[in-house]
Amino acid sequence: MPRDAVPLLRGGKVDKRLFDVTALLGEAGDGTDPLSPVVGRVAERRGDLLELTVTIVGRDGRPSDAEVSALDLGTGESSDFEAPVGGVAKLRLAPGEYSLDVVVHGDREHTWASTGKIRLDRDLAITVDARQGKEVGAQFDRVVGRKYVGMDAVYRVGGGRVQTGVSTRSQDRLFAVPVKADAGYFNFGTFQVWGGGGHEYFVASPYEGGIPEVLAPRVRDRELYAEKARYRAQGAPAVGSRSSSPFYVKGQGVTFGVVFDLPIPSRRVEHFTGRADVKWVMDFFQRPLSQPGVGFDGHISAGRPVFVAGRTGIRSWNGVAASTDLNLRGFHGLVRFGDSGYVQHWPFAPGEADASDEFVFGGPYVVARTQLSTVEGEVIVERDGVFATFSGLAEAPVRYVLDVEASRSPKWTPFAPKVSGRFEFVSGKTEGNVYLPVPTVRISGAFDDLNRAPAGCRVFPVDVNVVPQAGSVGAAAVKSVAVQASVDDGATWRRVPVVGAKARWTALVSHPVGAEFVSLNVKAVDAAGNSVEQTTMRAYGINRPLG
DSSP string, 218-252: B--GGGEEEEEEEE--SSS-EEEEEEEEEE-STT-
Residue burial 46-56, b: 16+ Cβ < 10 Å; e: rest: eeeeeebebbb
Residue 158's pLDDT is: 85
Q: Mean pLDDT in the chain?
A: 89
Q: How confident is the model at residue 331 (pLDDT cuts 50, 70, 90)?
A: low
pLDDT over 50 (residue 519): yes
Query: What are the angstrom distances between the C-alpha of 489 and each of 233, 305, 324, 403?
Result: 21, 37, 19, 21
* C-alpha closest to that of 54 among 75, 40, 68: 68
Q: Are 344 and 333 in contact (CB under 8 A)?
A: yes
One-letter amino acid at 464 equals V
Mean pLDDT of 368-391: 95
CA distance 258 to 270: 15
Question: Under DSSP, is residue 469 helix (H, G, I), strand (E, B) or coil?
Answer: coil
Residues in the chain, how many?
547
Residue of higher predicted confidence among 329 and 256: 256
Q: Are 299 and 350 in contact (CB under 8 A)?
A: no
Q: Mention every residue, 6+ apart, whose C-beta is less than 8 A from residue 263.
A: 237, 239, 240
Beta carbons within 10 angstroms of residue 424's beta carbon: 18
Query: What are the angstrom distances between the C-alpha of 376 and each of 127, 216, 382, 423, 424?
Result: 75, 66, 16, 14, 12
Residue 358's pLDDT is: 73
Mean pLDDT of 21-50: 40
Q: What percent of the chain has pLDDT over 70?
A: 89
Residue 329's pLDDT is: 65
One-letter amino acid at 273 equals T
Q: Is the N-terminal amide bond of 2 cis, ω within 30° of 0?
A: no
Lowest model confidence (mean pLDDT) among 199-203, 318-322, 383-387? 318-322
Q: How confident is the model at residue 16 (pLDDT cuts 50, 70, 90)?
A: very low
pLDDT over 90 (residue 537): yes
Q: How is residue 82 annotated by DSSP?
A: P
pLDDT digit string (tens) for 35-49? 333 333 333 333 589
